[in-house]
A and B are shown apart, each in its own frame.
Chain A
Amino acid sequence: MTVIQSQVINILASYSSLPCEQILLTAPLENIGIDSLALVEIIFDIEEQFDISVPDESTLASKQLPLSTVQDVLNLVNLLLNEQNYA
């Protein structure tokens, strides 16, 4: 597991009904107890943790970047970090 993956899972776990080790990458967020309200806070925590700016929902949708699963969240973080590194 990469450091980034570990950090993302830690953030998700603090809002989830499951501990870190039971959170699978394929798991839909709602299945691990994360609703839309929790997702708003998760996005904030991710922005703080990685010093990135997460686009709003409509922008994410237009770029076909869903936030439905744990993997989606990790993919977005990696994408935004890469964009920042090459900016």
Chain B
Amino acid sequence: MHDIVVTGLGCISAAGHNIHEFSQQLFQSAQRYQPLFKPVSLFQSSMLDVPIAAEVSNYHAEQHFSQAQLNQYDRFTQFALLASQQAIDDAKLIIEPQHSQRIGVVFGTGIGGQTTLEHAYQQLYLHQKNRVHPFTVPKLIPSAAASQISIRFGITGPSFCTSSACSSSGHAIAMASMMLRTGMLDVAVVGGAEACITDGNFLAWQGLRVMAKDSCRPFSAKRNGLVIGEGAGCMILETAAHAKRRNASTYANLIGIGMSADAHNIVQPLIDGAKNAMQAALLDAGCAASQVDYINSHGSGTVQNDITECQAIREVFQAHAQQLPMSSTKSLHGHMLGAGSVIEGIATILSMQQQMVPPTRNFITADPNCSLDCVPNQPKPANINCAMSNSFAFGGLNTTLIFQR
């Protein structure tokens, strides 16, 4: 089985248009931190209270793509292409026809081309049109991002989309890892993208009564839900042998992947499901729970998830849990849904690179039901050699990744 290394990173989110900006935001001191959640501006809200979201700010699609390209790229695909370009450049990966079949793309998304879908429905039902743009279908399908990445970079190996709500990009990383480990691929462009800050989608989310009124405050006693974010993240994964042959620099080793299903409820999390994913990852990594130095938690900021996750962590890590820093970066970049796992995996890798735990932002006061060190508000220097990243999705689909320096 091949070892896997991470050789390139790229991202775009409310926390910046690239890895450098993201890293600056991630480790910003509490004194200089400015919340990134704002009232939505991407659509005219029909709701009485304008909801907040973590939108990608100062983004002008026409600066990156031609009109002909934009006719084919939904917003989520645009983000996917920008993040993957960054990651490929960062990895200094040259893709040539003679080896392009040894490279694959696995990209996750929760819902795909939501903007395109809602625009088409508006044309039909609001404006009573009997036609929509001919590229509506190839633009909105969830696999569009994976396809367009493979087209743009000439990647001809196994390429597909994974969709499992908040674990979509976690499953993308897991699937690609299995292909790399078995030698089916040398390199994988993996990640996730989500851009569903739209009127209809937000109305639908409001019905679930899980959206925060004021901010995302994971593990805090005053938390009241999640804040939806948008953007994309991308990692270049390679077999260690391939990376060594081309003298690639590496960020980290991906040493463990764990997956589980709750088999419980379509929205409520289950302690055992989260526990199983974390234990599966530890077993896969061949490392003891006590060797984990930091957990980037799912930490969505909902009352229920945060309690469940803390209990699961206590049960997996036992005594070690009390000294194990565990933070939620969703408090910074929002809940990026299908892109969540990869952006949080990137945050985890950056924490090892910087030897610093990114804090849980917007924290007010401790919740006795979440009595773990969630590193409130201020980043904390730490010796991080091995770190875990969790994603626990609607419908009980869970992924855990473990990275090592």
Cβ-based interface call for A41 (8 A)? yes
Complexed CA–CA distance, A15 and B68 (Å) = 8
Cβ-based interface call for A44 (8 A)? yes
Size bin of chain A's contact surface: 10 to 19
Complexed CA–CA distance, A48 and B135 (Å) = 15
Cβ-based interface call for A47 (8 A)? yes
What 1/0 flags go to B52-69 for Cβ under 8 Å of A?
Answer: 000000000000000110
A43 proximity list for chain B (CB < 8 A): 134
A41, B131: Cβ atoms under 8 Å? Answer: no
A40 proximity list for chain B (CB < 8 A): 134-135
Contact check: which of A14, A15, A44, A53 meets B133 at CB < 8 Å?
Answer: A44
Closest Cβ of chain B to A51, distance in Å, is 10
Complexed CA–CA distance, A40 and B71 (Å) = 12
Interface of B is mostly: loop
Closest Cβ of chain B to A85, distance in Å, is 19
What 1/0 flags go to A12-51 for Cβ under 8 Å of B?
Answer: 0011000000000000000000000010110110011000
Closest Cβ of chain B to A19, distance in Å, is 15
Complexed CA–CA distance, A78 and B376 (Å) = 69
Nearest-CB residue, chain A, relative to B71: A41
Closest Cβ of chain A to B124, distance in Å, is 14
B131, A47: Cβ atoms under 8 Å? Answer: yes
Given A40-B135, A41-B135, 4 more pairs with CB closer than 8 A: A38-B68, A41-B71, A53-B130, A53-B131
Residues of A within 8 A of B (CB): 14-15, 38, 40-41, 43-44, 47-48, 53
List the 3 closest A-B pairs by CB distance, nearest first. A40-B134, A44-B134, A44-B133
CB pairs A–B below 8 angstroms (13 shown): A14-B67, A15-B68, A38-B68, A40-B134, A40-B135, A41-B133, A41-B134, A41-B135, A43-B134, A44-B131, A47-B131, A48-B131, A53-B130
